[in-house]
Chain A
Amino acid sequence: MTVRRSVATGLSVAVLIAASSVAWAAGQYSPGASDKEIKIGNTMPYSGPASSYGVIGKVDAAYFAMINEQGGINGRKITFISKDDAYSPPKTVELVRQMVEQDQVLVMFNTLGTPPNMAIHGYLNENKVPQLFPATGADQWNDPKHFPWTIMWLPSYSTESHIYARYILKNLPNAKIAVLYQNDDYGKDYLNGLRNGLGDKAAKMIVATQSYETTDPTVDSQIVALQASGADVLLTAAIPKFAAQAIRKVYDIGWKPTHFLNSVGNAVGTVMKPAGPEKGVGIISAAFAKDPTDPQWQNTPEYKTWLAFMNKAGLSANTTDVQAVIGYSFAQTMVEVLKACGDNLTRENVMKQAASLHDVKLPMLLPGITLSTSASDFDPIKQMQLQKFDGTTWRLFGDVLSASGS
């Protein structure tokens, strides 16, 4: 099924390329693309409280630079324009308008953050500019009917907590669940995903929730309050700094719940080790990408390629950060889509190619996890795998799961 479709796609692309190479520079272009160049626009929080995500933008830039060195995409060089919006939606709107109207980019790619993306959502769809692979896991980006120019990439946060919910229902049916979450779209999506996943048992099973702000220095107080609720299962939906604090505090106060940790906050180098590796034993999390500190990948060719790329790009300081792996995979997907466009670099075709991904494998995603999209499904990654921390690394267990249950 998939082979036939990809062969068909491949054939049509081949025909297109052949046809366009016969006619001199007969490529079709939207603003931002030409025979020589493809312009890609991006906004990232390189400063401000969300600045730890800026590494994704840096990895994107480095990857595109590498592709350019290797000859570009179908002979065209990528011009990657990335600007700092400091996670402030009005700024994002301004910068995106500048990139679309002044710099004339072909597409907006990998813009980060739910509020920033929400702010530009309407504008990009109205002006028919692709909003490709925003770096946010909110559910609303999968809506091809109303927003045909927006396609997501990250497995949604609620997909992940659905997976936890199903695990809990199956293995811990009488659990009393406490939730620590960041007080914004990201944290709330996890909480709501858990609630939805538990269905009508949610009200009974979730006995306590506590939120924190990114300006809070610690989450110790929240953890203490959660323990007092008598819960025996804890879901932590937190970014690395607070995830590490939470793990440590849970251990220090002698609480031993079954602890679920969200994938954003499970990096070994930046969370598990600072928290104290022995304090994290037994924590369950989910993943879709390979953690660069996981020994089982250290000798694989894919990891070595990635590591060499990071070091060459001057990003050695980030080689323990799984965000860098994710950024790498984002960029690879973009390149795949652009390659598939051949010489038809119209915005329509870019969207079409983005919506025609079939079981695309990326080297740094977990084995078994692939990207698939269609005209009615703008959610490329729907699978994750559960893993348990053993004191040194995450050990994958079980099958690759999806939210709906296959």
Chain B
Amino acid sequence: MHELLQQIFSGLAAGAVYASLALALVMIYRATDLVNFAQGEMAMFSTYVAWMLVNAGVPFWAAFALTLVVSFLGGMTIERIVIRPVENAPVLAAVVVTIGLLLIFNALAGWLFTYTLQEFPSPFPDRTLFGALMTTRDLGVIGVTLAMLLLLFLFFRFTATGLAMRAAAQNPESARLCGIPVGRMLAIGWGLAAAIGAVAGIMVAPVLFLDPNMMGGVLLYAFTGALLGGITSPVGAVVGGLIVGVTENLVGAYLIASQLKLTVALALIVLVLVFRPNGLFGAAIVRRV
């Protein structure tokens, strides 16, 4: 029983990591209808920026805030310069561009910061809770993820920009006719996603340790979680991420040898998707005939 609880709590902790990056993926998808393969690498790069600031003596929360701003601006710039040219091109071209971005960010990080593992400070004290079931760090990750989710929800629901962004994503032509600057909305969408990614990276780095390949595996799980929850739903992203984390742990501990853990966990998730092809909370993709 104790082991079961431990696996579940470890799973939740890992799942929160996936969920935070999944939020960034959902953000981009809602804003631009695109899955951004480079999301993880961008988050990792942002984390290195934060790391440099902290190493230079900047206090943690100031570095955090500064990194968010830099990431937001960086995300907007990338949308304008890198993604804009393929906006009207076939979707596949945009996908290839994000793959290219993935490679570029990864290689740049490796070149600038080397591949050696680095420590990253955590704002949360290092204590265990609930009789060693969870650490304050893990709880911190979960807490921050939920807070981001709440902010996103409020943003999309109750702010004018959020509404404009939803409109621009759903029907750019009509949105333009209404006077919404669609281009700017796309850029803001990318900026926000980059900022969310930065938060994810900063939360995660103390747990996973910082190196250029930190987000590689996380991206896969985040992608899985985002789709499981429904690629258009932020709530789905968080729920999906948590489910992926717990499922993977339980599968590995109880169902099958750890060497097939990943395969079986993915298979289970695909099975769920067969019954709910748009994810648990996702809206069905409606196609006009």
> Out of A52, A211, A216, A225, which one reaches B211, CB within 8 Å?
A52
The answer to whether A49 and B117 touch across the interface, beta carbons within 8 angstroms, is: no
CB under 8 Å from chain B, chain A span 70-89: none
Tell me if B278 counts as interface (CB < 8 A to partner A).
Answer: no
Check: A11 CB closer than 8 A to any chain B CB: no
- Which of B207, B212, B218, B252 meets A51, CB within 8 Å? B212
Q: Mark B194-234, 1 if CB is under 8 A from A, else 0.
A: 00000000000001110111001110110000000000000
Could you tell me which residues of chain A, from 364 to 386, have a CB within 8 Å of some CB in chain B? none
Taking the complex as formed, is A402 at the interface, i.e. its CB lies under 8 A from any CB of chain B?
Answer: no
Q: Please, what's the 1-or-0 string for B1-29, where 1 marks a CB less than 8 Å from any CB in chain A?
A: 01100110011011001100000000000
Mask: chain A, 345-362; 1 = CB below 8 Å from B; 0 = not: 000000000000000000
- Measured CA separation A252–B217 after assembly (Å): 23
**Separation in Å of the A338 CB from the closest CB of chain B?**
29
A215 cross-chain contacts in B, Cβ below 8 A: 216-217, 220, 262
Residues in A neighbouring B126, C-beta threshold 8 A: 276
In the bound complex, CA of A271 to CA of B213 (Å): 16
Within the complex, the shortest CB–CB distance from B8 to chain A, in Å, comes to: 10
**A218 with B220: in contact, given A52-B117, A210-B258, A224-B7 (CB under 8 Å)?**
no
CA gap between A273 and B119 in the complex, in Å: 8
* Interface pair B116/A225, CB less than 8 Å apart: no
Take A49-B216, A222-B252 as given contacts and tell me if A270 and B116 are in contact as well, using a CB distance cutoff of 8 Å: yes
Stretch at the interface among B30-38, B107-115, B167-175: B107-115
Interface of chain A residues 306 through 346 with chain B (CB within 8 A): 317-318, 320-321
Residue pairs across A and B with CB atoms within 8 Å: the count is: 110
Which of these, B7, B107, B116, B119, contacts A221 with CB under 8 Å?
B7
User: Which residues of chain A are near B114, meaning CB under 8 Å?
Assistant: 55, 317-318
In the bound complex, how far is the Cα of B128 from the Cα of A212, in angstroms? 24
Do B110 and A51 touch across chains, with their CB atoms under 8 A apart?
yes
Q: Which B residues lie within 8 Å of A240 (CB)?
A: 117
Known: A52-B116, A212-B258, A217-B17. A225 touches B252 (CB 8 A): yes
Taken together as a complex, chains A and B put the C-alpha atoms of A216 and B220 apart, in Å, by: 10
- CB pair A244–B262 under 8 Å, yes or no, is no
What are the interface flags for A243-285 relative to B under an 8 Å C-beta threshold, 1 for contact and 0 otherwise?
Answer: 0110000001110000000000000011101101000000000
Q: Does B259 contact A (CB under 8 A)?
A: yes
B177 within 8 A of partner (CB): no
Chain A: minimal CB distance from B210 (Å): 9
User: Do A241 and B128 touch (CB < 8 A)?
Assistant: no
Q: Are the CB atoms of B209 and A221 closer together than 8 Å? A: no
Q: How far is the CA of A244 from the CA of B113 in the complex (A)?
A: 20
Main secondary structure of the interface of B (DSSP, over half): helix
**Given A47-B110, A211-B258, A270-B117; A217-B218 close (CB under 8 Å):** yes
Give chain A interface residues in 10-68, CB to chain B under 8 Å: 46-47, 49, 51-52, 54-55
- Complex CA distance for A245 and B221, rounded to whole angstroms: 18
The chain A residue with its CB closest to the CB of B135 is: A252
Given A217-B217, A252-B132, A253-B6: A274 and B258 within 8 A (CB)?
A: no
How many chain B residues touch A (Cβ–Cβ < 8 Å)?
43
Cβ of A236 to closest chain B Cβ, rounded Å = 14
CA–CA, A54 and B106, complex, Å:
14
Contacts of B248 in A (CB 8 A): 221
A225 cross-chain contacts in B, Cβ below 8 A: 3, 7, 252-253, 258
A1 interface contact, C-beta 8 A? no
Q: Within 8 Å of chain B (Cβ to Cβ): is A213?
A: yes
Question: Bound state CA distance, A227 and B2, in angstroms?
Answer: 11
Contact for B208 among A47, A245, A318, CB less than 8 A: A245
B10 touches A241 (CB 8 A): no
Q: Are B209 and A244 in contact (CB under 8 A)?
A: yes
- Chain A positions within 8 Å of B118 at CB level: 274
Provide the residues of chain A in CB contact with B110, threshold 8 Å. Answer: 46-47, 51
Q: Is A3 an interface residue (CB 8 A)?
A: no
Check A217/B13 contact, CB under 8 A, given A47-B110, A52-B117, A225-B253: no
Q: Mark A196-234, 1 if CB is under 8 A from B, else 0.
A: 000000000000001111111110111011011000000
Which residues of B have CB within 8 Å of A216? 217, 262
Instruction: Let me know if A183 is at the binding interface, CB within 8 A.
Output: yes
Query: What are the residues of chain A within 8 A of B128 when measuring CB–CB?
Result: 252, 254
Q: How far is the CA of A215 from the CA of B117 in the complex (A)?
A: 15
| B98 interfacial by beta-carbon distance below 8 Å | no
Give the nearest-CB partner of A273 in chain B.
Answer: B119
Binding site for A on B (CB under 8 A): 2-3, 6-7, 10-11, 13-14, 17-18, 106-107, 110, 113-119, 126, 128, 132, 135, 207-209, 211-213, 216-218, 220-221, 248-249, 252-253, 257-259, 262
A-B contacts, 5 of them at CB < 8 A, read: A46-B110, A49-B213, A211-B259, A228-B2, A228-B253
| Interface pairs A-B: 5 shortest CB-CB | A228-B3, A215-B217, A221-B249, A52-B115, A220-B10
Binding site for B on A (CB under 8 A): 46-47, 49, 51-52, 54-55, 183, 210-218, 220-222, 224-225, 227-228, 240-241, 244-245, 252-254, 269-271, 273-274, 276, 317-318, 320-321
